[in-house]
């Protein structure tokens, strides 16, 4: 089944790997990007790809992205949230660190919330709408002293559950994808785990693509992906 899918955070890392894989599978894409020109001359510079400026922390950006996607493709039946940010803000944060926390809420939680709300009528209209959310294992447990990031991801996991409940009767299926360390630029700045020992973006792209092939009666709500044993 060829789908039309809206993806955020596809400039690099996991989002870009998913977008490139879905394009190879024959899907049409609308990409919400902070820097659309960054993809000029790449495989995503393609007639089946719409590139739209998008800032996850901007309340007006969601409606604009949905509107331009509908204008180009006439609608869409898939939404994949990959945009996110990371700050290592601890529980006992320093004075002046509140802007970090506000950015985590705005981008990691409110960005997906606003965009899902704006996209809902078109996802509902399709009858087999799909939503995938890159949540992270940090939305399931807290390790170490980092607090702000996992709190934002716990909130995102709750949002996924609310999406699932709201959309079930209308055929909308939601999957929270929860990887631990993934070999991306973001992870390289905070983890000492060698990149070759982390989950690779291409592997998550394969999982994302496979989820879209499943019938509405078989879509898992949660997909935990570990590169190391957790106890």
Mean pLDDT, residues 5-10 taken together: 97
Beta-carbon contacts of 157 under 8 Å, excluding residues fewer than 6 positions away, are: 135, 139, 140, 176, 178
**In the chain, where the domains are located:** 4-225
State the pTM of this model. Answer: 0.97
pLDDT score of 208? 98
Please tell me which residue in 73, 76, 149, 181 is annotated as part of the active site.
149
pLDDT for 21-30, tens place per residue? 999 999 999 9
| Residue 54 falls in the annotated catalytic set | no
Ordered alpha helix ranges (H), the chain: 13-24, 61-73, 98-104, 111-126, 148-167, 185-188, 201-213
In this prediction, residues 120-129 reach a mean pLDDT of 96
Is residue 162 classed as helix, strand or coil in its secondary structure? helix
* pLDDT, position 12: 93
Report, as an integer, the average pLDDT of 122-143.
Answer: 96
The confidence band for 102, taking pLDDT boundaries of 50, 70 and 90, is very high
pLDDT given for residue 185 in this prediction? 84
Query: For position 110, what pLDDT does the model report?
Result: 98
> What CATH number has the domain spanning 4-225?
3.40.50.720
Among candidate residues 148, 178, 151, the one with its CA nearest the CA of residue 88: 148
Confidence of residue 170 (pLDDT cuts 50, 70, 90): very high
Residue 231: pLDDT band (50, 70, 90) is confident
């Amino acid at each position: 089944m060829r789908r039309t899918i809206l993806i955020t955070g596809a400039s690099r890392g996991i989002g870009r790997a998913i977008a490139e894989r879905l394009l190879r599978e024959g899907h049409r894409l609308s990409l919400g990007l902070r820097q659309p020109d960054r993809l000029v001359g790449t495989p995503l510079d393609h007639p089946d790809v719409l590139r739209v400026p998008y800032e996850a922390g901007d309340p007006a950006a969601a409606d604009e992205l949905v509107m331009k996607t509908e204008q180009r493709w006439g609608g869409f039946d898939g939404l994949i949230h990959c945009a996110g940010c990371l700050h290592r803000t601890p529980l006992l944060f320093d004075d002046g660190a509140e802007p970090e926390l506000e950015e985590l809420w705005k981008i990691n939680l409110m960005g997906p919330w606003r965009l899902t709300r704006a996209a809902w009528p078109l996802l509902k209209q399709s009858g087999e709408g799909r939503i995938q959310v890159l949540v992270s294992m940090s939305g399931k447990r807290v390790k170490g002293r980092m607090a702000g990031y996992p709190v934002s991801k716990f909130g995102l996991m709750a949002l996924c559950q609310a999406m699932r409940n709201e959309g079930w009767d209308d055929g909308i299926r939601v999957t929270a994808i929860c990887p631990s360390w993934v070999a991306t630029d973001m992870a390289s700045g905070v983890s000492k785990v060698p990149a070759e020992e982390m989950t690779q973006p291409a592997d998550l792209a394969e999982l994302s693509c496979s989820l879209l092939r499943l019938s509405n009666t078989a879509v898992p709500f949660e997909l935990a992906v570990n590169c190391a044993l957790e106890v």
